[in-house]
Structure 1
């Protein structure tokens, strides 16, 4: 047990033991081994207990990080878990998938000179310990209410809102078109970052707490938004964004040029034991192939590292900016480099070539020019600087846009922004349709799990205020 805090002056930063790249590239296990109790306490004791904790300020959930670090250092783990879960519905997930190097740890006061406190690893340790010791309980209503809320989407925003509303006593039903709850946490994020049983146990716990799940249910086909509005006192749209951005260059329609999410979903479904014809046929399987991934975000890193584990002959990441300007986590880049991924910085695809199926990529060298209106340097091609890459599988990881929900839901009164996201009153989080709220990526655009949790918690409070203001107590909605 740590003697006191501020131990960064004598203790070096230590992450949990990292599995060797030669070992982890051959399986789907998580990269880091669990923290030992003594090591977790020691690393927590490095916290400087700032008067103004920038780690907390830069956390989307404003987690009470210094407080639960101190409790961990003192061996008071159950209290540390209570503190962590007070502001975060899924601390065990955030501890695994949050880009801490860009958020809490990247803003740690001791980061310059002493290396940041290992906040994410300690958060994961606290919550995994809580699960092992039975401290994590299903959401329990303080007082049962007759009113009900329907939630469209079982991802981070929808599930976080569901938990908050259930604790407030509402009868909550989540509708999702997939056959499992979790959204991209279950289908988009690979096992080496987030093992699926971590998500499934939350889903099952929510069911035990009285939250109903209607899976394999597509709103607009199996049930209409109008029917949901009649059935529930409020409806939340938390569908996320799934439409892949495309590449407008010759050859983009060739076989073997595939969207990142299609590729990741196929891999995750196969790992879950599902029948995946496109994987079995080789269309979405990197085994033995020369793979080029286009993009530089966390999704691109998920794709390159998945391809390595599938046994690709080679894996190259093509990104039009340099390493310092990558939007993805630098830890993920380092992990990918260790696992054998080749990075072509300052390079963008100019064309894909092949007959019926892609066989290569013609790429253009780029350089960073003057900053644009946002302050980010513009990307400009270098005339005559071309090169070719062998590729029989190209994965497009350029980001995601919203689907056309007004058309999908057959609800023209739903209004959208110029980006296609749902337009809401940002004070109430309500859409143009009375009683229909929206939160998460479908409002803010493709973002992080932690922002989805934040939005879900916020919208739950707005839904509660909306129903309370009506002053009605209708009969409990029947299933």
Structure 2
């Protein structure tokens, strides 16, 4: 019997994997953290206190059984640890890399609250899954028995792929439709390689293809194929499109050449990482090389943009955010990484307009924090007479995302949406107003985290299976 090696947090300090020096990592798009060695992973896992009420687990959207797989890791039972982590999470290697653990599992770790430094849950999760791929512990998708029913999934992001995985494992025929030329959604084209290297995502895509999932790519629903045609071809449909419409800023000069959307900028950069020829990058339009870059926004997308601009060779990178550091929505870990890499944060500032037909500068208003707004956060107020112009050659708008108008875009009647434009779906079953049509992920909850999309996709798959298993003809009374 393996010796229990837990509760080491008093004697063993928190120790993250080694981070590559900023002067080196600024030159490429590889991930910035090294891997744990086997002994180091076991040592850090052994810091877990095995508390009676595991707040790490309850604050994980997937309710991953974190204490148990930490214990198995500490005991050297790595394959069992991986299999336990995989039982509740379709993409453990993705969550280990990009989840904001400081706001979820690690931020609620009991020993963190007692001042000993949280267990490095994300780094251990990443280590376990990378080891599983190396050792062949990641099993192919094999259905116990094939079924005749087919399900269409619109959107090949984390929610859609999580549902596809769950449905294929039950033998359902699955076709995933996506507008892009590669599957993965924002995991592929929205998140830079220094946070999530693309071979990590492509391995899961390949696993699903080999497991029988059919991907129909470069397919714009409503243009290349109607929603009704998809619905007529399949027994059920899952809408998992995510939210891709960028929030606009109403300000003078916003249409100037050189003021671009974050999603366009990041997509082009990620396409180049695949080795694609991308005209908008090659002609300099969406390339930060040699430019003064200003990014507007304070979320994780803004952090992705500033760190990408540094790697593309920008002469300077500044991030404008209307609140202060303590009130920004992005991960504090990401802010620290960006600062190490040379990004300058200009807190309590907001754009008032833009100068030049081809962007020359941002008219900036200085702000102060006033009384709390409806959300409880202190609302920013303009400081009159403190405006100035920040010189810029490229301005990237990272103000968040909104849902597209799917009923109009797809020409479909009866698909109910909320006043925010998200698809209205039952929060338990994910069923929409249309018979046999379900919705999951950001298109329902608004722009959110990958881990929530995974949870929604898995739950929606369970509901779809119940729907497919229900008798279609009721016995006559």
Same fold (TM over 0.5): yes
**Are positions 1:346 and 2:348 aligned together?**
yes
2:221 matches 1:229: no
Could you say what secondary structure the match of 1:141 adopts?
A: coil
Aligned match of 1:270:
272
SS in 2 for 1:394: strand
Which stretch shows the higher mean deviation, 411-420 or 389-398? Answer: 411-420
- Contact 1:2/1:42, CA 8 A, preserved across alignment: no
| Distance in 2 between residues matched to 1:318 and 1:401, nearest whole Å | 21
Residue number in structure 2 paired with 1:475: none
**What's the CA shift for 1:372?**
2.2
Structure 1 residue runs without a partner (length 5+): 473-479
Structure 1 residues 2 and 374: alpha-carbon distance in aligned structure 2, compared to 1, 3 A threshold: farther
TM-score normalised over the length of structure 1: 0.97
Aligned mates of 2:423, 2:213 — CA distance in 1:
25
1:301 aligns with 2:303: yes
1:127-165 superposed Cα distances (whole Å, 9 cap, x missing partner): 000000001012221222111101011000000000111
Matches of 1:2 and 1:69 in 2, distance apart? 14
How far off is 1:331 after superposition? 0.6
Q: 1:348–1:208: structure 2 CA closer, same or farther, 3 Å change rule?
A: same
- Structure 2 partner of 1:129: 131
CA distance in 1, matches of 2:304, 2:428: 35
> Within 2, Cα distance between the matches of 1:373 and 1:22?
42
Q: Which residue pairs with 1:205 in the alignment?
A: 207
CA-CA distance at 1:471 after TM superposition: 4.4
| 1:399 aligned residue | 400
Shift of 1:101: 0.6
Q: Is residue 171 from structure 1 mapped to residue 142 from structure 2 by the alignment?
A: no
TM superposition shift of 1:3: 5.7
Asked whether the equivalents of residues 148 and 233 of structure 1 are also in contact (C-alpha less than 8 Å), the reply is yes
- TM-score, scaled relative to structure 2: 0.97
Q: 1:286 aligns with which of 285, 288, 295?
A: 288
Aligned partner of 2:55 in structure 1 is 54
* Greater Cα shift, 370-379 or 445-454: 370-379
Distance, in Å, in 2 between the alignment partners of 1:17 and 1:340 is 19
Structure 2, unaligned runs of 5 or more? none
Aligned ranges 1:323-362 → 2 under 5 Å: 323-354=325-356, 356-362=357-363
Residue 296 of structure 1 and its aligned partner are, at CA, apart by 0.3
Q: What is the aligned length?
A: 471
CA distance in 2, matches of 1:460, 1:28: 34
- C-alpha distance in 1 between matches for 2:394 and 2:6: 51
CA distance in 2, matches of 1:432, 1:340: 49
Q: Is the 8 A contact 2:64 2:88 kept in 1?
A: yes
Aligned CA-pair RMSD? 1.1
Structure-to-structure mapping, 1:132-147, within 5 angstroms:
132-147=134-149
Contact 1:2 1:45 survives alignment (8 Å): no
- The aligned counterpart of 1:314 is 316
**1:62 aligns to what SS in structure 2?**
coil
Q: Match of 1:215?
A: 217
**What is the aligned partner in structure 2 of residue 83 from structure 1?**
84
Q: Secondary structure at the match of 1:128?
A: helix
User: Within 1, Cα distance between the matches of 2:297 and 2:412?
Assistant: 34
- Counterpart Cα distance in 2 of 1:235 and 1:35: 41
Q: Please, which moves more after superposition, 265-274 or 288-297?
A: 265-274
Other-structure match for 1:376: 377
Matching residue of 1:254: 256
Give the stretch that moved more between structures: 317-326 or 141-150.
Answer: 141-150
Q: How does 1:188-199 map to 2 (within 5 A)?
A: 188-199=190-201
Distance 1:182 1:242 in 2: 14
Once the two structures are superposed, residues 270-301 of structure 1 have per-residue CA deviations (whole angstroms, 9 ceiling, x without a partner) of 11111211111111000000000000000000
1:2, distance to aligned residue in structure 2 (A): 8.3
For 1:427 and 1:433, locate their aligned partners in 2 and report how far apart those are by CA, in whole Å: 16
Q: Which residue of 2 aligns with 1:100?
A: 101
